[in-house]
Amino acid sequence: MTMSIQPTPPPGPDYLQSGQRPPQARSGGWLRLFQGVRPVTRAGVARDALAGFQLAAMNIPQALGYTKIAGMPVVTGFYTLLLPLLAFAVFGSSRYLVVAADSATAAILAGKLEGMAPVASARYVALASTVALLTAGFLLLARVLKLGFLADFLSQTVLTGFLTGVGFQVGIAVLGEMVGLEVHSNRTVGQLLEVFRSLPQVHLPPKDAARLRCAPVGVRGSLGHRSGGWC
């Protein structure tokens, strides 16, 4: 006579015994909405509203400046502020990721498109929109293929050098306006040469305003921070 002993299933919810996924696992698919916002608390709403106001005060003029560097109409700078932030609030999950216009992207875009169409023209805007849509498509494809590990191959030295170069390019691009000069060249070297040639025509009030704008950065550097001011 043979006896077969069946193991007793461990106690637990019915979905564990039936092999089904738990509710939190079933909801962990592609569609995770408002992950970076939740949980919403009464104290957190006031704190987040104040942070949003401070971010807007800093980010609006910055985005408008990047828009000019990109050669786009100024109104598109507001689109880069509003639409990406709303989309990231719905679909994003990080509380620390910055979603806004970028100086490096603006400089690269202008450098490639300025030879194909007049800056801020209808054709220029159409080309820039096409580049944005293509970039979004490639990023979505990279997400599907899980190619995020490719970022690990970018060394810190390369990124630092790239961002430093972009910083010089952006600084030279706005140098003419800071000192009250009109610069016509679209090339970085040409812009710098025009500024140096027109130094006798520099207006003091704009220059003083630019110095006042850069003063907090310099003070911050003198207080012991590693990142000093340019002025």
- pLDDT tens digits for 131-152? 999 999 998 999 899 998 888 8
Q: Which tokens sit at 102?
A: 């970028």
Find out whether 210 and 171 touch, Cβ atoms under 8 Å. Answer: no
pLDDT of residue 129: 92
Same domain, 207 and 138: no
pLDDT of residue 133: 94
- The last residue of a domain, from among 117, 147, 177: 147
- Name the band, by pLDDT with cuts 50, 70 and 90, for residue 223: very low
- Name the band, by pLDDT with cuts 50, 70 and 90, for residue 215: low
Highest mean pLDDT among 18-32, 132-146, 158-172: 132-146
Q: What are the two backbone dihedrals, phi and then psi, of residue 159, each rounded to the nearest 5 degrees? A: -65, -40
pLDDT of residue 145: 94
pLDDT of residue 120: 86
Same domain, 80 and 139: yes
* Termini Cα distance of the chain: 95
Tell me whether residue 21 is in a domain. no
- Range(s) of the domain holding residue 225: 162-231
Tell me whether residue 127 is in a domain. yes
pLDDT of residue 150: 87
The pLDDT mean for the chain works out to: 75
Q: Say if residue 14's pLDDT is above 80.
A: no
- The last residue of a domain, from among 99, 123, 147: 147
Tell me whether residue 57 is in a domain. yes
Alpha carbon 147 to chain centroid, angstroms = 20
Q: What is the mean pLDDT of residues 49-69?
A: 85
pLDDT of residue 26: 47
Q: What is the mean pLDDT of residues 99-108?
A: 81
- Name the band, by pLDDT with cuts 50, 70 and 90, for residue 68: confident
**What is the rounded distance in angstroms from the CA atom of residue 19 to the CA atom of residue 84?**
40
Tell me whether residue 81 is in a domain. yes
Same domain, 201 and 118: no
pLDDT of residue 141: 95
pLDDT of residue 110: 86
Number of domains in the chain: 2
Same domain, 55 and 132: yes
pLDDT of residue 135: 92
Q: What is the mean pLDDT of residues 92-114?
A: 80
Exposure string for 183-192, b = 16+ CB within 10 A, e = fewer: beeeebeebb
Q: How large a percentage of the chain has pLDDT more than 90? A: 11
Same domain, 186 and 126: no
- The last residue of a domain, from among 113, 147, 181: 147
Q: Answer left, alpha or beta for residue 180, where phi above 0 means left and psi between -120 and 50 means alpha.
A: left
Q: What is the mean pLDDT of residues 1-8?
A: 44
Tell me whether residue 154 is in a domain. no
